[in-house]
Amino acid sequence: MNLIEADAKLLLRRHGLATPSGALLGPGDPLPAWCAQAGCVLKAQLFEGGRGKAGLVRICDPADAPDHLAALRGALAQRGYEPYVLAEERVSIAHEYYLACQIDDVEQQVVLLFSPTGGVDVEHGTPPARLALAPGVVLRPDHVAAFLRASGAAQAHLGALCRFAAALHRVFIAEDAELLEINPLAVTQSGELLALDAKAVLDEAADFRHGDRATLVSSSLQSAGRTPMELAAARSGITFVPLDGDIAILTGGAGNGMMVADAVTDAGYRTANFVDTIGGSGADRWQQLAELVFEHARQPQVRAIVAYFTLSVTPLRYLVDGLLAALRATPPTKPLVLGVIATGAAENLLTLPDALALLRDAGLDPVVELPDLVERLTRTIPAR
Ligand code: GDP
Ligand code: MN
């Protein structure tokens, strides 16, 4: 789940990290009185970065704040966003750093990223320096001092930067984040460190540990951009990505899904979706997944459904039960090309030959090998 800046800063403040003070203005909210007295910074709240360059961050004098607010609301509406604007106190910046905590998908670990020159041009400069953090480590300020010094932190800011980095990592772990990025992490004229901007991506699989996430503004903004089907899927831990191709894909697990998508694409088709599921492999989960894809396949541009499963641990029994239940509950309206292969522990409750027999009894004609699946697809529906 992506957070807008206002929510990301709320998270930081809850954990004691400093941000400018301010107020989130919803649609129709008036400009706070202090903006008209002291001036303010107005920042459009959307899920994309690069706002500084796009004119979506406005440093306002008291007199022109109302015009800037109207302009930002207009710009958001034009981009199809709800007009949320963050109004903050003006800060005079002495220096801008870049600091982030992130899960590195490839290295499969948390990394701390730091650049001595943050701000709007950070992606054009030298890439941030990286420090890999051991799983479970409780980061202390002195752990990162050598790294930050070697990466260009000024001696005068080193102590404050070390404390900020350690605290950022603590928030990252406590909030089950995938990314927390502070750019700029500003040094003010009075020498304070302030998170002037914040970007956060939270792991939705951990939502159950954080009861208040649904109350974040980001949550309703995100819901606004999703179809009812995507919302239902997200609520039950299924990642469903609609695409604009003509072959709906029903698979279990991301690796299996990508393999099938590649095979279908290589045969000259375009996939109509991607699905992945986190946790749970009971029959009801398979049924839900299948019904979701069958529903998606009702759209006119979808011509066929390709379902393929490679199981080595997840019980084949549950897959077959779930699939047959979905076929009874919501029969697909497009041709279904089905394949299943299972080995090892997956066959404990039901062997592959028995599973194939059950599927045939239900009027299906399953294949086992992936090339046979593709061949069956080309005979069912020719590629365009
Ligand atoms: P982004 O471009 O979407 O990442 O938006 P940011 O929140 O990072 O804002 C872009 C730039 O605006 C920052 O790098 C700052 O240089 C500048 N900026 C933001 N807030 C303030 C502020 O309170 N005072 C001043 N002087 N500059 C600010
Ligand atoms: Mn920024």
Mean model confidence pLDDT for the chain: 93
Residue 279 confidence class, pLDDT cut points 50, 70, 90: low
Phi, psi of 320, deg, nearest 5? -65, -45
Neighbours of 356 (CB within 10 A): 18
Residue 384 confidence class, pLDDT cut points 50, 70, 90: confident
Residue 341's pLDDT is what?
96
Instruction: Locate 6 and state its tokens.
Output: 């206002």
User: Which ligand 1 atom minimizes the distance to the CA of 197?
Assistant: 7
- DSSP assignments along 274-305, one per residue: EEEE-S--SHHHHHHHHHHHHHHTTSTT--EE
Distance 155 CA to ligand 1 centre (A): 24
The average pLDDT across 126-146 equals 95
Residue closest via CA to ligand 1's atom 26 equals 92
Phi, psi of 289, deg, nearest 5? -60, -45
Instruction: Locate 36 and state its tokens.
Output: 């008209």
Which pLDDT tens digit goes with each residue over 45-56? 998 889 999 999
DSSP 8-state code for residue 347: G
Residue closest via CA to ligand 1's atom 14 equals 119
Pocket of ligand 1 (CB under 6 A): 41, 43, 49-52, 57, 59, 90-93, 96, 119-120, 183-184, 196-197
Largest interatomic CA distance in the chain? 78
Residue 176's pLDDT is what?
96
Task: Give the residue, out of 35, 46, 183, 197, with the most ligand 1 atoms within 8 A of its beta carbon, to mutate for a pocket test.
Answer: 197
- CA neighbours closer than 13 Å in the CB half-sphere of residue 374: 15
Residue closest via CA to ligand 1's atom 11 equals 52
Give the H/E segment covering residue 74: helix 65-78
Residue 223 confidence class, pLDDT cut points 50, 70, 90: confident
DSSP 8-state code for residue 130: E
In whole angstroms, how far apart are CA 184 and each of 72, 145, 194?
Answer: 21, 20, 8
The average pLDDT across 280-299 equals 90
345: helix, strand or coil:
helix
The average pLDDT across 70-94 equals 93
Residue closest via CA to ligand 1's atom 8 equals 197
Bigger pLDDT: 278 or 220?
220
User: Which ligand 1 atom minimizes the distance to the CA of 41?
Assistant: 23
Bigger pLDDT: 232 or 355?
355
Residue closest via CA to ligand 1's atom 13 equals 119
Which pLDDT tens digit goes with each residue over 151-208? 999 999 999 999 999 999 999 999 999 999 999 999 999 999 999 999 999 998 898 8
Task: Give the residue, out of 19, 43, 57, with the most ligand 1 atoms within 8 A of its beta carbon, to mutate for a pocket test.
Answer: 57
The average pLDDT across 283-299 equals 92
The average pLDDT across 270-298 equals 88
DSSP 8-state code for residue 215: G
Quote the CA–CA distance of 103 and 98 in Å, as a whole number.
17
The strand pairing partners of 95, in sequence order, are 187
